[in-house]
């Protein structure tokens, strides 16, 4: 591996490099975040300024029961470099009334490629720091290299330890955590959920000065209306000699580091990530960073099972998000084995025909309160089947598919049942079942009780997909019966959901009630494997969505002018939830929108789609550098909000980008 840990792909992609005004002040550098993940659900993450602004930031956030049981162990590792007569702090901390130290003033560049790299000016020398989360273990590796100096320097490292659940905050106590420093390694006793912390610095010594540091201020938590101050504990300061042009590795882990080759550990992870790039069908300035971003969401769930983290930092794995994201995370990136294992994992989670909405971080049983996760499962499996021709997996899963459809026809939880017209009804008071699922206390912001448009587009596609699978691999007689049921559903869909005065689809049909709110859910009906409308109506829907909902970074969740429209997603929990699906822009919806563009406009649609995605990916230099946020404000400036990295945002934009390629390297058959 070359000395610089972020090689590019010649002529196609270079790491994202930030410098000058982009990182020149505390405010701008603190709005830029970086993320390294470990394939277990844990991570290392912080801001480019060096100051933590969220309770979720940390050098080592471990998943003690992958992908859950996540704890912030080492919150910070503040560095100071002494070189000749210079003493230069590199860290930064926000306290209520001051920023101290101000190491960001010495930052000359930040780079996000295979790994995040910070470069600091130390007189005429430069210190380069690389952060590496090691795949498959709760380990973070820090790599330091001093260049441009003829004499050695001294690196001082101050560990600042939280030892708590990711959603909590630490408060100082009279008790001092037990720790030791032997053979270059700081070891703490179990801190949170039984996790022990090991911090190895080869050739180092520890100046013991155990104490609590109080009132670290997390600005983003304050802005979100939460508690925002924390106390962190330090055992003292670790000192190590920095030799010019030589690499120093520092290991932070929950595993005993005895006998580990830290250089080999770094090389192994670099090789793994380079292989992710090598297996891409197309390697360019879009696919490479998005493939690296996609890798962050694919994680282990117990022994030999796989799942998808919905977003970082506070999401776990969600059924709906997993199924929507699966095709884009795995098929364009050359990872069909991951897709297969995820599909097999979730096949074992069907209960009364439903898949879990989410898996609580506290280890409680999964929650079965969504109508569409099971429906998206069919779509994800169909995309996998068409991409891989893996008939064996489809045959293996057919019994679960048949049982899921039976439950929907006969009726399952939360009023989910097929009505006499062949459409799927869902909902009951106080329960949010669709992806528009904001709820605060007993208040469901967008209840959508009845027959939501995308749910019924999915249901009819489920029937068509099952008919195809039965005809090809199961019982052709049963397949023909499902084909007839598909036709009945398609006819009812066209009759009930078309809004003739608006030229688009109603969002929800419930008896005689028609919800004419202009929302993006209807675009899904144009992008699924089996479109449900006549060509003229599809083109009309596309035009209306394009005119009223399209932004440079995704689709609005509600059209401007609607009385419920909210232009900004900000404030406390109630303020944010009331805006979450009431105008807020969702980038994942660019996936179905671009799919519809390509289908309805052909070559012209491909050109439009590529231009849209190119524009959206300017966002890779904002918020979570190198990845795509969960949401954006509805109105310009379209400020990124929510999670800094969202699985379906990355997955759908990556899938859509390859869909616009000519010739297209993958199947275009599904969202």
Mean pLDDT of 139-143: 99
Above pLDDT 70, what percent of the chain?
97
From the CB of residue 310, how many other CB atoms can be counted at a distance below 10 Å? 24
Paired with 13 in beta bridges are: 9
Domains of the chain by start residue, with CATH: 16-273 (2.70.98), 279-659 (1.50.10.10)
The residue ranges of DSSP E strands in 134-204, in sequence order, are 139-147, 153-165, 179-182, 185-188, 198-200
Q: Side-chain half-sphere of 167: how many Cα atoms within 13 Å?
A: 8
Q: How far apart are CA 591 and CA 378, in angstroms?
A: 18
**Is residue 61 pLDDT above 70, yes or no?**
yes
Using pLDDT thresholds of 50, 70 and 90, give the confidence band for residue 502.
Answer: very high
pLDDT by residue (tens digit) across 559-579?
999 999 999 999 888 899 999
Mean pLDDT of 225-245: 97
Non-local (6+) Cβ contacts of 390 within 8 A are: 336, 340, 384
What pLDDT does residue 8 have? 52
Using pLDDT thresholds of 50, 70 and 90, give the confidence band for residue 1.
Answer: very low
**Is residue 671 pLDDT above 60, yes or no?**
no
What pLDDT does residue 12 have? 62
What pLDDT does residue 193 have? 82
What pLDDT does residue 621 have? 96
What pLDDT does residue 663 have? 66
What pLDDT does residue 477 have? 98
Q: Measured in Å, how far apart are the chain's first and last C-alpha atoms?
A: 38
Region of residue 120 (phi > 0: left; psi between -120 and 50: alpha; otherwise: beta): beta
**Is residue 2 pLDDT above 50, yes or no?**
no
φ, ψ for residue 357 (rounded to 5)? -75, -50
Strand-strand pairing, 640-641 and 631-632: antiparallel
Q: Tokens representing 76?
A: 């910070």
**Is residue 140 pLDDT above 80, yes or no?**
yes
Using pLDDT thresholds of 50, 70 and 90, give the confidence band for residue 665.
Answer: low
**Is residue 670 pLDDT above 50, yes or no?**
no
Q: How far apart are CA 467 and CA 460, in angstroms?
A: 11
Average pLDDT, the chain: 95
H/E element holding 461? helix 453-473
pLDDT by residue (tens digit) across 589-648?
999 999 999 999 999 999 999 999 999 999 999 999 999 999 999 999 999 999 999 999
Contact (CB, 8 A) for 659 and 607: no
Contact (CB, 8 A) for 4 and 95: no
DSSP 626: T
What pLDDT does residue 6 have? 63
Rg of the chain's alpha carbons, rounded to an integer? 26
CA 367 to chain centre: 20
User: Which of the residue ranges 58-67, 172-181, 498-507 would you say has the lowest mean pLDDT?
Assistant: 172-181
**Is residue 666 pLDDT above 60, yes or no?**
no
What pLDDT does residue 9 have? 52
The more confident residue out of 175 and 333 is 333
Mean pLDDT of 525-545: 98
User: Which of the residue ranges 8-22, 245-259, 555-569 would you say has the lowest mean pLDDT?
Assistant: 8-22
What pLDDT does residue 233 have? 96
Using pLDDT thresholds of 50, 70 and 90, give the confidence band for residue 128.
Answer: very high
φ, ψ for residue 148 (rounded to 5)? 75, 15
Using pLDDT thresholds of 50, 70 and 90, give the confidence band for residue 110.
Answer: very high
Mean pLDDT of 288-300: 98
pLDDT by residue (tens digit) across 405-453?
999 999 999 999 999 999 999 999 999 999 999 888 888 999 999 999 9
**Is residue 10 pLDDT above 50, yes or no?**
no
Using pLDDT thresholds of 50, 70 and 90, give the confidence band for residue 7.
Answer: low
């Amino acid at each position: 591996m070359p000395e610089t840990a972020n090689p590019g792909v010649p002529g196609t992609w270079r790491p994202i490099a930030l410098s000058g005004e982009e990182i020149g002040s505390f405010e701008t550098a603190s709005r830029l975040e970086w993320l390294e993940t470990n394939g277990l659900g844990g991570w290392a993450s912080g801001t480019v300024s060096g100051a933590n602004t969220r309770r979720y930031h940390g050098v080592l956030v471990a998943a003690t029961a992958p992908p859950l049981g996540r704890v912030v162990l080492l919150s910070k590792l503040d560095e100071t470099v002494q070189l000749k007569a210079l003493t230069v702090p590199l860290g930064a901390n926000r306290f209520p009334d001051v920023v101290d130290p101000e190491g960001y003033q010495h930052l000359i560049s930040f780079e996000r490629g295979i790994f995040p790299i910070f470069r600091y000016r130390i007189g005429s020398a430069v210190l380069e720091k690389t952060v590496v989360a090691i795949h498959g273990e709760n380990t973070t590796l820090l790599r330091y290299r001093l260049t441009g100096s003829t004499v050695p320097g001294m690196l001082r490292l101050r560990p600042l330890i939280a030892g708590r659940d990711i959603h909590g905050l630490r408060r100082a106590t009279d008790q001092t955590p037990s720790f030791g420093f032997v053979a270059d390694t700081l070891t703490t006793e179990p801190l949170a959920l039984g996790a022990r912390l090991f911090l190895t610095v080869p050739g180092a010594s520890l100046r013991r000065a155990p104490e609590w540091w109080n009132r670290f201020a997390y600005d983003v938590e304050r802005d979100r209306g939460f508690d925002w101050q924390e106390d962190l504990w330090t055992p003292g300061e670790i000192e190590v000699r920095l030799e010019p042009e030589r690499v120093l590795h520092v290991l932070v882990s929950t595993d005993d580091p005895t006998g580990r080759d830290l250089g080999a550990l770094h090389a192994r992870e670099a090789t793994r990530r380079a292989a992710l790039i090598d297996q891409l069908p197309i390697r360019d300035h879009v696919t490479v960073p998005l493939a690296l971003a996609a890798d962050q969401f694919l994680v282990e769930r117990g022994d030999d099972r796989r799942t998808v983290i919905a977003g970082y930092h506070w999401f776990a794995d969600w059924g709906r998000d997993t199924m929507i994201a699966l095709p884009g995370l795995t098929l364009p990136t050359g990872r069909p084995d991951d897709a297969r294992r995820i599909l097999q994992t979730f096949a074992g989670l069907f209960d009364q025909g439903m898949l879990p909405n989410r898996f609580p971080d506290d280890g409680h049983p999964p929650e079965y309160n969504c109508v569409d996760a099971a429906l998206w499962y069919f779509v994800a499996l169909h995309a996998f089947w068409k991409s891989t021709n893996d008939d064996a997996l489809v045959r293996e899963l057919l019994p679960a598919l048949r049982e899921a459809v039976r439950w929907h026809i006969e009726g399952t939880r939360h009023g989910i049942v097929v009505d006499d017209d062949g459409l799927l009804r869902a909902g009951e008071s106080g329960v949010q079942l669709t992806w528009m699922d904001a709820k605060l206390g007993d208040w469901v912001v967008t209840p959508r009780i009845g027959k939501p448009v995308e749910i019924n587009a999915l249901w009819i596609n489920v029937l068509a997909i099952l008919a195809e699978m039965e005809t090809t691999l199961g019982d052709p007689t049963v397949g023909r019966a499902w084909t007839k049921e598909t036709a009945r559903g398609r006819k009812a869909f066209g009759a009930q959901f078309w809004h003739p005065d608006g030229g688009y689809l109603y969002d929800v049909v419930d008896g005689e009630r028609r919800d004419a709110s202009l929302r993006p859910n209807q675009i899904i009906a144009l992008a699924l494997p089996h479109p449900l409308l006549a060509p003229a109506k599809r083109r009309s829907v596309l035009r209306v969505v394009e005119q009223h909902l399209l932004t440079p970074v995704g689709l609005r969740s509600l059209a401007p002018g609607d009385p419920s429209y909210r232009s900004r997603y900000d404030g406390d929990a109630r303020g944010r939830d009331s805006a979450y699906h009431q105008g807020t822009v969702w980038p994942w919806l660019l996936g179905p929108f671009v799919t519809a563009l390509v289908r309805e406009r052909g070559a012209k649609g491909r050109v439009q789609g590529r231009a849209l995605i190119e524009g959206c990916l300017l966002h890779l230099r904002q918020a979570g550098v190198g990845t795509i946020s969960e949401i954006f404000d509805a109105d310009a400036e379209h400020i990124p909000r929510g999670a800094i990295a969202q699985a379906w945002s990355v997955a759908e934009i990556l899938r859509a980008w390859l869909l616009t390629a000519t010739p297209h390297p993958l199947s275009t058959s599904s969202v």
